[in-house]
Amino acid sequence: MRKSISEVGVEDFVKAGLTIEEAKEFQRVLKEAVFGAKGSDPREVWRSLVAQRVLKPWHPHALHQLVYYSVYANWDSLTNGPPLYWFPSLDQSKHTNLGRLMEKYGSKLLETSYKDPITSFSHFQNFSAQHPEDYWSIVLKELSVSFHEAPKYILDTSNKSKQGGTWFPGSVLNIAECCLLPRTHPRKEDDSVAIVWRDEGCDDSNINHMTLKELRERVMLVANALDAVFSKGDAIAIDMPMTINAVIIYLAIILAGFIVVSIADSFAAKEIATRLRVSKAKGIFTKDFILRGGRKFPLYSRVVEAAPYKAIALPVIGNDVGIQLREQDMSWKEFLSSANHHPRSNNYIPVYQPVESVINILFSSGTTGEPKAIPWTQLSPIRCAADSWAHIDVQVGDIFCWPTNLGWVMGPILLYSCFLSGATLALYHGSPLGHGFGKFVQDAGVTILGTVPSIVKAWKNTECMKGLDWTRIKSFGSTGEASNVDDDLWLSSQSYYNPIIECCGGTELASSYIQGCPLQPQAFGTFSTASMTTGFVILDEHGIPYHDQACVGEVGLFPLYMGATERLLNADHDEVYFKGMPMYKGMHLRRHGDIIKRTVGGYFTVQGRADDTMNIGGIKTSSVEIERVCDRADECILETAAISVAPVDGGPEQLFIFVVLKKGSSIEPDKLKILFSRTIQSNLNPLFKVNYVKIVPEFPRTASNKLLRRVLRDQIKHELSTRSKI
């Protein structure tokens, strides 16, 4: 039984890593904060502790754990909803992007029901979903979006064959130009810092800076070189780490009227070849090598194995590539020199195109089979930038860092979220897993740090960020996989418990459909709202929507979703996203594939994909729900993966748990089986039984680090089949 906050004392604080003197002083400060809370409600106690900064970023993590879990020791999540760790203040809320917008337009749009940004947020979100054209007409003015030809109106729903509607009909623009031009609102000037960066291994060097004017001139130089080498409308791939040159190339391709093909630098040659073939790419930008931890790993040779028409190779070090190129390929230096014929190589007239023109081909991560080729139009950047503006509160002056790659959806999202909001993009040219990345975050003064849960787990477990100051970070972002509460506790504590904005969406949506929000209290590992203008229902196993009660089911998105795809390059769009989905209030719901849980209090957690649900003893549950409780069953556990498989000869599904242990840890599978059964039965359902536990060195994952449970499921099915034949 865990102690409550009133029961913990000096001895507990010493066990958590403080000296006796520190523990005595901490107990005094803690008691004052607890006494000063507004009542005994654990939420008010925790709010008081955070407001008074009782817990410091440099305190041992064990102390943070002790205090947080003691405050909420007797908390009943089934009755009260998830425990909260961050609370918006009314004053703060009015200085957020959304809060400022609500204060200006709330009374007009919501009339007398409008109170303030916190009280009225849910009402405002619902309004935006029911009247998206009103919301977008306002938010467009907040972003750096300039139309060459203005839209006739915001939304046209007259064409019933287009379930998502026609957005900004008649408009013409170049979204890359929007990223590069100075503007009065949001404030972007030629001498504004557009990008900051540092190379791995240069931890003590100054931060590099590039102004908006310098960025624009570099992009225009590359655009002129592109015109000299490629034909208008060509698809051109990028397969390299997200460096400053990768960003310049990305923007230049779109500025010049070409199409970017996004390929992650972690792919094998076969995967690269598939993406080049599907996109019909006429060329690819890459690097000779990738530099990680002082070691060089071949990239150009892997790309060439995929047989692209033409490759342009950038050097990882210096000005010259360190490998022999094919005859049809070019070095970066040679490519740039092809723009020399242009009398003003740093100037370029953008190619203006209709808003529905394709600018970027991205690929799904392949968690459910062959990756889908997803075309982004010029609507997609507007959508993702607007979501970041509203939910992550990206503002002019922010320095936004998110370790990612242009081959994954977060790469373009990060780029547009900065350049269309007036924020500075922060890039680290190296691995995000070590002290060097953390020091860059500190030295660059990063104010918004995006993460992936597995990276946070690595930071916490290796203690590689110890001694760094991350207190300038006003908020974090998290996406890609389910978050771990304890890892999030560590992350948030690094900036005095500022919020972690959870984001869950998809490449085909160009955004997140559920997110956190700075106008709502936040709970670790949860989403607090549908994103702005998004509507959805949670469906039961018969496809019937639940009302507003706590529930678990497949999400069905309202089809009117600005920025979402209307087609796929290598699959039937309607079959993938609409076939088999029910009607709701005259709308054909759009499939996303997530199973989500709505808690008491209206928070959401993702329980896995629709194909990750399992039926244990006649009760439907999800892999993620079981993994959450199993991850905390013993200190030796790094992570778990839960799957269910029916026996070869039929019968009820059996529960299998795969386990990766922490480095240096050891435990018998049979002991884990007992521990897992006990913790699942006490936390989830007393009828659930663990049938099998297997310890493995690592889990199979996609290149974007998503867990491939179907691979584990296939392994078990093969083992059971083999066993049955013996």
DSSP string, 562-607: TT--S--SSS-HHHHHTTTPPEETTEEPEEEEEEEEEPTTS-EEEE
Q: What 3-state DSSP class applies to 29?
A: helix
Q: What 3-state DSSP class applies to 520?
A: coil
Residue with tokens 């907040």: 142
Q: Which domain holds residue 644?
A: 612-724
Q: Is residue 545 domain-shared with residue 626, that is, in the same domain? A: no
Query: Which of 32, 59, 75 delimits the end of a domain?
Result: 75
Structural domain contains residue 561: yes
- State the DSSP H helix or E strand holding residue 158, giving kind and residue range, or none if neither: none
User: Do 637 and 696 touch, CB atoms closer than 8 A?
Assistant: no
Q: Which of 676, 700, 679, 704 is nearest to 690 (CA)?
A: 676
Q: Is residue 672 domain-shared with residue 697, that is, in the same domain? A: yes
Q: Is residue 190 domain-shared with residue 250, that is, in the same domain? A: yes
Judge if the upstream peptide bond of residue 403 is cis by omega within 30 degrees of 0.
no
How many CA atoms does the CB half-sphere of 695 hold within 13 Å? 15
pLDDT score, position 410: 95
Q: Is residue 543 domain-shared with residue 633, that is, in the same domain? A: no
Structural domain contains residue 122: no
Q: Is residue 369 domain-shared with residue 421, that is, in the same domain? A: yes
Q: Is residue 277 domain-shared with residue 370, that is, in the same domain? A: yes
**Polymer length in residues for the chain:** 726
Q: Is residue 551 domain-shared with residue 692, that is, in the same domain? A: no
Q: Is residue 588 domain-shared with residue 691, that is, in the same domain? A: no
- CB count within 10 Å of CB 145 equals 22
- Token couple for 657: 């748990």
Q: Is residue 590 domain-shared with residue 617, that is, in the same domain? A: no
Give the residue ranges of the chain where pLDDT is below 50: 367-368
Q: How far are the Cα atoms of 380, 537, 624 from residue 597, in angstroms, in the given order?
A: 27, 11, 11
Q: Is residue 381 domain-shared with residue 314, that is, in the same domain? A: yes
Query: Which of 563, 595, 627 delimits the end of a domain?
Result: 595
- E strands, 85-231, are 155-156, 166-167, 172-173, 193-199, 208-211
Q: Chain-centre distance of CA 303, in angstroms?
A: 27
Q: Chain-centre distance of CA 234, in angstroms?
A: 29
One-letter identity of residue 655: L
pLDDT score, position 295: 85
Q: What does the DSSP 8-state code read for residue 375? A: E
Q: Which of 507, 475, 452, 493 is nearest to 394 (CA)?
A: 475
Q: What 3-state DSSP class applies to 205?
A: coil
- CB count within 10 Å of CB 699 equals 18
- Token couple for 282: 């006429």
Q: What is the 3-state secondary structure (H, E, C) of 650-700?
A: CCCCEEEEEEEECCCCCCCHHHHHHHHHHHHHHHCCCCCCEEEEEECCCCC
Q: Is residue 439 domain-shared with residue 521, that is, in the same domain? A: yes
Q: Phi, psi at residue 377, to the nearest 5°?
A: -100, -175
Q: How far are the Cα atoms of 17, 638, 661 from residue 664, in angstroms, in the given order?
A: 22, 11, 8
- Token couple for 33: 């904060």
Structural domain contains residue 160: no
Counting beta carbons within 10 angstroms of the beta carbon of residue 398, is it exposed (0 to 12), middle (13 to 18) or buried (19 or more)? buried
pLDDT score, position 161: 84
Q: Phi, psi at residue 480, to the nearest 5°?
A: 105, -35
pLDDT score, position 651: 61
pLDDT score, position 367: 45
Q: How far is residue 363's CA from residue 264's CA, in Å, rounded to a whole number? A: 10
For helices 244-255 and 410-419, what crossing angle results, to 10°? 80
Q: What 3-state DSSP class applies to 619?
A: strand
Q: How far is residue 522's CA from residue 499's CA, in Å, rounded to a whole number? A: 7
User: Do 528 and 603 touch, CB atoms closer than 8 A?
Assistant: yes
Q: Which of 354, 641, 383 is nearest to 506 (CA)?
A: 383
Q: What does the DSSP 8-state code read for residue 188? A: B
Task: Give the β-pairing of 283-287 and 311-314.
Answer: parallel
Structural domain contains residue 137: no
Q: How far is residue 334's CA from residue 313's CA, in Å, rounded to a whole number? A: 10
Structural domain contains residue 144: no
Q: How far is residue 544's CA from residue 541's CA, in Å, rounded to a whole number? A: 7
Cβ within 8 Å of residue 161, ≥6 positions away: none
- Token couple for 203: 């931890």
Q: How far is residue 443's CA from residue 140's CA, in Å, rounded to a whole number? A: 33
Q: How far is residue 273's CA from residue 258's CA, in Å, rounded to a whole number? A: 20
Counting beta carbons within 10 angstroms of the beta carbon of residue 27, is it exposed (0 to 12), middle (13 to 18) or buried (19 or more)? middle
Q: Is residue 474 domain-shared with residue 527, that is, in the same domain? A: yes
Instruction: Report, in angstroms and rounded to the nearest whole number, the Rg of the chain calculated over CA atoms.
Output: 26
Structural domain contains residue 714: yes
One-letter identity of residue 524: F
Query: Which of 75, 96, 130 delimits the end of a domain?
Result: 75
Cα separation of the two ends of the chain: 46
Cβ within 8 Å of residue 214, ≥6 positions away: 194
pTM of the predicted protein model = 0.88
Query: Across the beta sheet with 399-401, what order do the strands follow?
Result: 208-211, 193-199, 424-429, 399-401, 448-451, 475-478, 500-506, 511-515, 529-530
- CB count within 10 Å of CB 722 equals 10
Q: How far are the Cα atoms of 279, 372, 406, 575, 704 from residue 367, in angstroms, in the given order?
A: 20, 10, 19, 18, 10
Q: How many domains does the chain have?
A: 3
Alpha helices by DSSP H, listed for 111-209, are: 121-130, 132-139, 175-180
Structural domain contains residue 606: no
Structural domain contains residue 102: no
